[in-house]
Structure 1
Amino acid sequence: MKKDGFGRIIALIALLSAFPPLATDMYLPALPTLQAQWNQPLSIVNLTLVAFFVTYCFFLLVYGPLSDRFGRKPPLIAGIVIYVAASFLCASAPSIYHLIAYRVLQASGAAAASAIALAIIKDRIPGQRREQAMAHVAIITALAPMIAPVIGGLIMIRLTWPWIFVSQGILGLISLGGVAMMRESLQRTPGIQVSFMRRYMGVIKNRRFLSIVMVISLVGLPLFAFIGGSSDIYISTMGLSESQFGVLFGANAFCFMVGSFCCSRLVRKAGGMRLMSIGFCGIFTGGMALVFLPLPGAMQMALPMALITFCIGLSRPPSNNIALEQVDVDTGSASSILIFIYFVMGAFSMFFISLDWTDKVRVIGILAACSGAGCFVCWQFLKPFLRMPVMEQKRKAS
């Protein structure tokens, strides 16, 4: 830890964790343009998002066990190289179907960053500091969805949509340099080799881990529905420009960052368990506001979603930490399953919102209300059976 420094490793992990939002949110302002340029319905254009996340989810399950067996750096470097190459291919796509294919390749590389980033945190940072470290990573990572659509909107005004993917490739090259200089974080035991399936079976049999992961993944339903439907709602339905959409989307992501910042400040005093409960209640409240609260213009979507994303930012770091606290070995595989289930929920939600709904704002509100209420109820039931982080144990003892 001393060699790389806490700040450097947190910054690198945050950049790696930002690959998914960078690969999606930056080109959201271009979706209506792509729809018009290639004369395709939104359901086809949205396949560039859905196909990305489906492929991304599958490869999460590949990179986790690879990192447990061969170390964190080799599969991470391989994945980033694939991501960079695919980003430049996306920039040269001559049709929507080529773009979908290249997005599949891009997702297969981006999965390495997300699958291995959480495992590096578990390797390098002791339990007492891990929750705060995850909150710090979430704060920095939240900048990606906050500024990505703004940058994408500016690129659309001044240049053309292929430059969005060129920018992603350049950011990938920067992260590749950081990983190359990072020392290996996994302390491997020589002579022990375990197959993919044995690693996953060991994690899946851990009922505590699997139960809490299934519950906390529900919060992805309204978030990814918003990501998949926001450009259509703001630009096509409400008539906003690409730059206005970028500002509103960025402001929403800013709320996620504020939630993560509040988590980093409050977690020692209030405890991660309490913050999770508060966050789930807030998601439910925001969903009910989307369904029933009449607000003018774009505020009908923006204000309730601000509350929802704030509460996701507040509850996500302790949720991830408590999930990983349930495993002792094969952290890379556990991290892969955690992110895999979360993004499978997200991919389903993005496909669901792309259907021909009359009122997509109301649909997102129903998803938020149901996921917030479901998470809160299941969380209260699961708490007594889970292994708690060291800070929570000390708080209970005192």
Structure 2
Amino acid sequence: MGRIGPVFIFEDEKYENFLPLVWLRPVFDLRVGILTIFEKWYKKLGEIEGVFLRSYLSKLVKEMYPEIRVNEGIRPGTKVLLINGRTLPPEDISVFDDVEEETLFVSNKGEVVAFYGYFDEYEGIIDTGRLREKEVKELRIDVEVLNYLWDTIKINGEEIIKDFNMIGNSGIHAPISQKVALLGNEIFVAEGVRLYPNVVIDAEEGPVYIDKNVTVLPNAFLKGPLYVGEGSIIKVGAKIYEDVSIGPVCKVGGEVEATIIHSYSNKQHDGFLGHSYVGTWVNIGADTNTSDLRNNYGSVKIIFKGERFDTGMQFLGSMIGDHTKSGINTMFNTGTIVGVFSNIFDAGFPPKFIPSFSWGGRHGFVTHELEKAIATARRVMKRRKVELSTNYEEVIRKVFELTQKERDEAGVS
């Protein structure tokens, strides 16, 4: 493409709207559809020079993306393209081609999408107000900017379709038993996939993308739009409905609908998970159920930044942060937010907002001790042959400090 200058992706002041899922990752590492936001931009542009984000994540993100610059100053006198990490790439990426003068790209709703020009200063996250102050040419483009975590759930099916078409993979690349039913044409089955007899894959209303080395056990039903990530396992008799993204190395069973499971998480057993976002290293206990529809069919309200907030969504389940566990028969109400490193159990519905590092249920919570939380994380990750690195541990300790206020306000002892 004819774009001028290196590309940087940045977090802005609204990263807080995506907590708790971004306590341990930048906003642009959220999965929406098949790919993360970062991966979408990389595939569209071909190269990312660097990123700007919260300072405590710098070392960890450098570990994740060793070939890019992380929170490093831009060379003076260099024109760059700064892309808001909450933005999903437009289908027509040529809007950024051959821009000569400094330009502020905004969505049709007036949200800052990107900036092209000189930007020598930086402070980790970039406040979009600073970009507006530059008083340069403004260009409106048709693009999706995410404002809240639950926006990802709302558009996930559309993003699976867009990613499926952008990636361009097609066909069946693994042996398929005659007892496997394939409905529709937009089905991709990668190398190393094993589909057991009596599996049904329904792509009549949306594509199904099954990545490398996935195992789908007998009698499972998979309906598109759907993505199943590399190395994941779909359990016997699972019912995986439309608009679901299951990231790499997950184990999923029971009934799942319109949900994103980022990666390395388990929901192996019966129980319903709907219109939800689940982070990494989460374990959802047997017969855990999420309500995603109010009895009066009204819009779902959540506890957001300490206040009741109307999401405007009729269907919304739970948003569950990394390393959280639910005990058997746990029930989550509509619009429940659960922080990172929480352990939820007990009869009845727990509160609709559960702070990070909480241990308990409906009858009250105590703090999940930091050292015990880290020790558990190390054991869990080791089972998947992943090391809990020093940088990751430093981030966990920092997040424990940053979330102390929410525990205090919620009365967690």
For the criterion TM > 0.5, the same-fold answer is no
Please state which structure has a larger fraction of its residues in strand. 2
TM-score normalised to structure 1 length: 0.26
Larger relative CO (CA 8 A, sep 6+): 1 or 2?
1
TM-score normalised to structure 2 length: 0.25
Please state which structure has a larger fraction of its residues in helix. 1
Structure number with bigger Rg: 2
